[in-house]
Structure 1
Amino acid sequence: MSGKRTVKANLPTKTCLVCQRPFTWRKKWSRVWDEVLYCSDACRGRRQQKSPPVAASPDSG
């Protein structure tokens, strides 16, 4: 075998902010690994949304 193969056990890992499961580095994330927070599109879709801005109440004004 060629000596260029990377052993999967040596890849960096992170913990998903939504499901709390560990996930490993993927080649498609090579340039943005520091920005990756979620293990999948499904978890990214389930992330907690920030509260919508509080609108002025109709009583004020």
Structure 2
Amino acid sequence: MHKKPHLPEKICPACHRPFTWRKKWAKDWDQVKYCSERCRRNRGPH
């Protein structure tokens, strides 16, 4: 089993859990705020 190199992390403002960089976010990592669609939809009043 190979180990992945250290990937950038962010904290989701909805669930307050850390999430790591994903290849599908490579082009827009700076704009990614939520760890999932569920958190994005349930972000609440901010």
Task: Place the TM-score, normalised by the shorter chain, in its bin.
Answer: 0.7 to 0.9
Counterpart of 2:4? 7
* Structure 2 SS opposite 1:35: coil
RMSD: 1.9
Q: What's the % identity of the aligned pairs?
A: 51
Q: Paired residues, what number?
A: 45
* Structure 2 SS opposite 1:33: coil
Where structure 2 has 5 or more consecutive residues not aligned to the other structure, the ranges are: none
Quote how far apart the aligned CAs of 1:48 are. 1.6
- Residue among 33, 39, 43 paired with 1:43: 39
Off by >4 Å, runs of 4+ in structure 1: none
Q: Larger Cα Rg: Structure 1 or Structure 2?
A: 1
With normalisation by structure 1, the TM-score equals: 0.65
* Structure 1 SS opposite 2:16: coil
Give the aligned residue type for 2:8.
P
Relative contact order, CA 8 A, sep 6+: which one is greater?
A: 2
Give the aligned residue type for 1:15.
I
Q: Which has a greater percent of helix?
A: 1
